[in-house]
Amino acid sequence: MYLYDLVIKQVDIKDPINGVDGVADIGISDGLIAAIEADIPMHQGRKLIDLSGYTAIPGIIDPHTHVSEFWGSHNGQSMLAKAGVCTTLDMAGPLDDILKSIPEHGAGLNVAILQFASPPYTFTCSNPSQEEIHSLVESSLRNGAYGVKLLGGHYPLTPDASGLLIAEIARQGGYVAWHAGTTEHGSNIEGMREAIAMADGHFLHLAHINSYCRGTVISELEETYEAINLLLKHPHIYSESYISPLNGTSLACKDGVPISKVTCNSLLKLGFEATEVGMESAFRAGKVGCVINGGSESVRISGEQGIKIWRENGTSLGGMFPVNPPLPRIMLAEAKRPEGDFVVDCLSTDGGCLPRNVLVEKGLGLVFLDVITLNEFILKTSWNPSRMLRLPNKGSLGIGMDADITVLDVESRTPVATIVGGNIVMFKGLVCGSGTTIICTSQGEDALKRRGIKTYLADPSQKPLAMSQTR
């Protein structure tokens, strides 16, 4: 009789929440952490894996990614598994696109999906009626979404509609996130100020704080200080920031100009016209690359080849610009509240199918630079996002917690294994997981089960779980 389904042998365990720091074995049963002991006898494990010399941390949760072909390819889940991510929040959907992709493109991860609220895709105009707003939220939750995201930076709504949408998502018990921006203010520090005001005291996941600190209104340093102070003054706002120099956006154009406001701003910031002609110039200069399916991963293509592919696809491709300055990325990663908690709760990538899944590479780079400690890296990539997303059984390696584990080669800053619910979904670069577990509310469970999709129930209508004694 086996006591454990899987035993991980002699791995260096780092779990700051439970004060575990040292070499031990991990026993896993029924998808949960069942034991952490100095030496579990080998005959007690149905499967054994020797990971001596490597470091096991609570499974990484990336709270901002995109795993839909709409943004680049269906490779997002496998790219995340390869990057050491166990759980992710997809921040735009489209919901049905992701759900349809699961049989072929699932990689064994846990995925929560926010349906996007965006004209011209899910709303017909920038000022939808209360009835349209209610209908979008209701149908999204009923069909398996965890909530709704405002893509204001790309496809803005009016300020009034944005405020009504946040209130409606809260009323219906969904998770709400906002890429700041409305028809009045863009994806910048002004948009951040506006989003916080429009939240009107409701919980709000304010996406990628670094993107509001690019020096488009005042200097990037002044914008960063203001962003930190805004978060300090408004504790109902939860947030993440990413540490890649590359942003992600749509390169789709209409009538000779980009549809997305972020794309226009990126072109202008880099010294190009916000037009199709300006886009071609940016391609030639290597300052923009379109994202395409490169086989097992998405790839970014610039230059004349990029222009050719972009044109062949009628301009409707995702793309990336190097517009995130380094100083705000570092300052936002390390900034702390007077009580010692982080101002920006989590690290993220805004990656997935966008090729910038660099939480381990660049996050551990911050550790090597003494910007944050390894324990703080774990807090910002596992514990804090689990609390923000209301996932009480994730974020640590305590007995009885979900057996989500990321195994790292800390010295080379690379993921070695990704284990989700006790299943190895990636080992030394080989993605071997399949299917997807969708994190959903009770409203969407039946619809997902009818599609044969595995579910994980959570309740975003509740307050975020406590990250610490003070946050």
Q: What is the pLDDT of residues 371-411, one digit of tens each?
A: 999 999 999 999 999 999 999 999 999 999 999 999 999 99
Residues 6+ apart with CB under 8 A from 386: 61, 87, 392, 394, 395, 465
Whether residue 346 contacts residue 381, with contact meaning beta carbons closer than 8 Å, is answered with: yes
Burial of 468 (0-12, 13-18, 19+ CB in 10 A): middle
| 204: β partners | 237
Whether residue 55 contacts residue 360, with contact meaning beta carbons closer than 8 Å, is answered with: no
Task: Rounding to the nearest 10 degrees, give the CA dihedral for residues 137, 141, 145, 150.
Answer: 10
CATH number given to 4-58+393-431: 2.30.40.10
* pLDDT attached to residue 69: 87
C-alpha 76/C-alpha 293 separation (Å) is 10
* pLDDT attached to residue 459: 98
pLDDT < 50 positions in the chain: none
C-alpha 15/C-alpha 22 separation (Å) is 9
* pLDDT attached to residue 112: 98
The beta-strand segments (E) located in 180-307 are 204-206, 237-242, 249-250, 253-254, 257-258, 289-293, 298-301
Whether residue 289 contacts residue 317, with contact meaning beta carbons closer than 8 Å, is answered with: no
Can you say how many angstroms the Cα of residue 125 is from the centroid of all Cα atoms in its chain? 27
**Global pTM value:** 0.96
* pLDDT attached to residue 141: 98
Whether residue 406 contacts residue 364, with contact meaning beta carbons closer than 8 Å, is answered with: no
* pLDDT attached to residue 158: 96
Enter the tokens of residue 30: 């029924």
Whether residue 90 contacts residue 372, with contact meaning beta carbons closer than 8 Å, is answered with: no
Which of 13, 5, 7 minimizes the C-alpha distance to 408?
A: 13
Residues 6+ apart with CB under 8 A from 303: 283, 284, 286
Task: Rounding to the nearest 10 degrees, give the CA dihedral for residues 310, 316, 317, 321.
Answer: 80
Element (H, E) at 381: none
* pLDDT attached to residue 392: 98
Whether residue 426 contacts residue 83, with contact meaning beta carbons closer than 8 Å, is answered with: no
CB atoms within 10 A of CB 340: 10
C-alpha 43/C-alpha 41 separation (Å) is 6
Whether residue 358 contacts residue 244, with contact meaning beta carbons closer than 8 Å, is answered with: yes
Enter the tokens of residue 344: 């920006």
* pLDDT attached to residue 135: 97
* pLDDT attached to residue 262: 86
* pLDDT attached to residue 72: 79
C-alpha 354/C-alpha 246 separation (Å) is 10
* pLDDT attached to residue 118: 86
C-alpha 195/C-alpha 204 separation (Å) is 9
Asked whether the domain spanning 59-245+324-392+432-464 has the same topology as the one spanning 4-58+393-431, the reply is: no
CB atoms within 10 A of CB 441: 24
Burial of 470 (0-12, 13-18, 19+ CB in 10 A): exposed
| 29: β partners | 32
C-alpha 344/C-alpha 388 separation (Å) is 11
> What fold is seen in the domain 59-245+324-392+432-464?
TIM Barrel (3.20.20)
* pLDDT attached to residue 345: 98
Spell out the domain ranges in the chain. Answer: 4-58+393-431, 59-245+324-392+432-464, 248-321
